[in-house]
Structure 1
């Protein structure tokens, strides 16, 4: 697992160190750290990998924050009563579908707070994300859109891991 992790991230630039965080039994906890030699390499990795599926896991990548800075952010977020978004992962999208069309498809189930088709050189990668402010709208959308045919392709729709 550690070698795969290193290999995945090393193609974006020189890796000074990398580590997959494991529990006391040696099982991966689902996150890790990569320290690049340059900021540009880190930015490229974020740009290319954030939101992708690797080993059937949705990847979320961001710059590391020192613990004290993270703690300040957590305290500010808990006091602000920030709205939670309920996100759906939508795959098997037609390659000509864009974010606006994805939003239109899913807006019939409620207020869509965001809709994004993941693109590569102006062409859909075949998957995207739709977010609702209501868990009920998200659940209804999953139940009615999973298997729904768009452009001769049955959509695969599921609640995202962060929902």
Structure 2
């Protein structure tokens, strides 16, 4: 929730009071404008915790900012994995066009009590090749996924059986992956320094910046 006027220097100046900073970056779009968030990497955990305690909820240029610990990708995936275990709705796809509701029920009911089941049909009454099964017990849903996922009903076409995600969950996961890729890209190119020599005596800082500006955002020159 950073104000658009907060740049790398302003963010560095704000957070450097809490300890030595190894890297500091405000995320920017292709035009060099702030996206309203950034990353600060402190040398010590103590400094990071202190900055969270003092700056989180503070007003910077009139906007209340959120400051929190960066959660590594593996931790986010682990948390998602634990939550994913607690599901009762199963998505099934890659079965034949002659597959029926009754066949779907017969296939899954041995794993536990089913509260609902549905094969999705075309207008002509044939199966669209996918459907949904809702269990009463999360353990039953998990067992069904483990045992049936990858099983062949149609030759050369393995069955997919997995957790049925709600639209909001799918959108959240896509957004998380997008932000993760964006963050990784920022980190990869963070702090790239160029050394330029054999400059004419008439070249000053402003001229140097002007020559290199077409190639990307410059943090210092």
TM-score (norm 2): 0.34
Larger Rg: 2
TM-score (norm 1): 0.46
- Greater length-normalized contact order (CA 8 Å, ≥ 6 residues apart): 1
Structure with the larger helix share: 2
Structure with the larger strand share: 1
